[in-house]
A and B are shown apart, each in its own frame.
Chain A
Amino acid sequence: MDTSEFIRTLTADTLRPAMPLSTVWWASVGLAIALASAIFFTMLGARSDIVTAAENPRFLVRFLVTITLTASAFGCARALSRPGENWRKAIPYLAVAPALIAVAIVVELFTLPSDTWSATMVGTNGIACITYISLIGIGPLAIFLRTLHHSAPTRPALAGAVAGVLGGAIAATFYAAQCTDDSPLFFATWYTIAITGLAVLGAVGARVARW
């Protein structure tokens, strides 16, 4: 088939073009949050002392971090899903959330006596934290990989990893409402492991997004 023939073929395909990508992204992030919240409230639910906890800045800073990470990963994933978009400009925003944790850690180290540091970091439910964030985040990740499949990422593995961070950040936002280990030391260790795991899974799973 020569190219002019092929062009005639393509113009004959008059099925309406698929939904605009930004609509699809907003819909999938809404769906992902709904799914994560359904799984969270079925499996866990918020901690019983959430009202008193909400007055504790150590408890609140986690939400600031996870919501910031959600927003920056969302921007990155969207940029990575379109050919020719300048995604390199969106990547540095991913560093904002880790910077916030770093500040929280410095404050924590000044307030806590140094002999309690390692016990605080290990916490009481690190394994549960990893397990639940992964369980809550895997559904959203699947939704985002589906969205990447619908779009056209020119760096599929990177886009998949960012989709994993996005799913992980949403999951972590919910899990943080249950988690009773309030220290940023605990947060920076275990939440990071869980979110990194989802990012790796996303990078591998992004094979489905090849086009």
Chain B
Amino acid sequence: MQRRSEAELARLMQAAISGDERAYGDFLQQAACLVRDLARRKIVKGGIDPEDIVQETLLAIHLKRHTWRQDAPITPWLYAIANYKLIDAFRRRGRRVEIEIGEIAETFAEPTSETVSDREIGRALAMLAPGQRSVVAAISVDGRSIGDTAKWLGLSETAVRVAFHRGLMAIAGRCGRSRNGYQ
């Protein structure tokens, strides 16, 4: 994919904020590439999947897009979010390694291996309350539209929109906790 300039990225996000979904998708694709490069460069020891960082950053970008000043450059904003998520992941990994060593010493049990294929976001989704989970899963996993989901669950479109948005917020709040499972 061709890399866009700072000005183009800012334009895409401005369009996105005023409701242009295509521009938003485009922007997120571009952001994903930038964050993926950054994460691959910074994660040298393993234990963290760069793609998890990409997804957590995209979710944070989405939920915090009102914190971007539309007259400010967007790449510093984007990288600051990505770095925050990276540091958070490093910190959690440090804690998890400590906990695992403690467990082995105490119980001599095999450490449970993590399924690498299942993404952090997917695990956080599985931990949502049932109502929220069915709305988020219908839209994100089954790819249904808001209208379809509303009909399928017998809810109003507004209720689905709100539940979906709150579900995404809950996923963002749970991402950290589901990674080590001990908090």
Q: Which residues of A contact B (CB under 8 A)?
A: 1-15, 17-22, 81-85, 151-152, 154, 211
What's the Cα separation between A13 and B62 when bound, in Å?
9
Q: Is the CB of A12 within 8 A of B164?
A: yes
Q: Closest A-chain residue to B35, C-beta based?
A: A3
Known: A5-B141, A152-B81; 9 extra A-B contacts, CB below 8 A, are: A2-B119, A10-B168, A15-B162, A18-B66, A21-B67, A82-B67, A85-B72, A151-B64, A152-B84
Determine the chain A residues whose CB is within 8 A of the CB of B80 once the complex forms: 83-84, 154
By a CB distance below 8 angstroms, the chain A residues around B51 are: 3
- Docked Cα-Cα span, A5 to B143, in Å, equals 9
Given the interface contacts A1-B119, A83-B80, A84-B79, does A13 sit within 8 Å of B58 by beta carbon?
Answer: no
In the complex, the answer to whether B164 meets A3 with C-beta atoms within 8 Å is no
Closest-CB distance, B23 to chain A (whole angstroms): 10
Q: How far is the CA of A210 from the CA of B24 in the complex (A)?
A: 25
Closest to A19 in B: B66
Interface of B is mostly: helix
CA distance A3 to B165 in the complex (A): 18
1/0 per position for B43-55, CB-CB distance to A under 8 A? 0000000010011
B28 within 8 A of A: yes
Q: Cα distance A90–B164 when bound, in Å? A: 37
Interface size for B (C-beta < 8 A) is 49
Nearest B residue to A156, CB-CB: B84
B69's contact among A3, A19, A22, A152, by CB below 8 Å, is which? A22
Binary CB contact string for chain B from 152 to 178 against chain A (1 if under 8 A, 0 otherwise): 000000000110110010001000000
- Determine if B140 is an interface residue (Cβ-Cβ < 8 Å): yes
Which residues on B sit within 8 Å (CB–CB) of A7?
Answer: 25, 28-29, 32, 58
Contacts of A22 in B (CB 8 A): 69
Q: Tell me the interface secondary structure of chain A in the complex.
A: loop
Partner of A13 from B19, B145, B168 at Cβ < 8 Å: B168
Q: Which of B110-132 contact A (CB under 8 A)?
A: 119, 121-122, 125
A152 to B17, CA, bound (A): 17
Residues of A within 8 A of B172 (CB): 211
Say yes or no: A10-B59 contact (C-beta < 8 A), given A15-B165, A17-B65, A154-B80. yes
- Assembled-state Cα–Cα distance A43/B87 (Å): 45
Question: Within the complex, which residue of A6, A12, A18, A81 is in contact with B146, where a contact is CB–CB below 8 Å?
Answer: A12
Q: Which of B28, B63, B84, B162 contacts A11 (CB 8 A)?
A: B28
Given the known inter-chain contacts A1-B122, A14-B146, A21-B67, please indicate yes or no for A82 contacting B21, CB distance below 8 A.
no
- From A2, A11, A84, B77 is in contact (CB under 8 Å) with A84
- Are B32 and A83 in contact, with the CB atoms below 8 A? no
Distance A154 CA – B76 CA, assembled complex (angstroms): 12
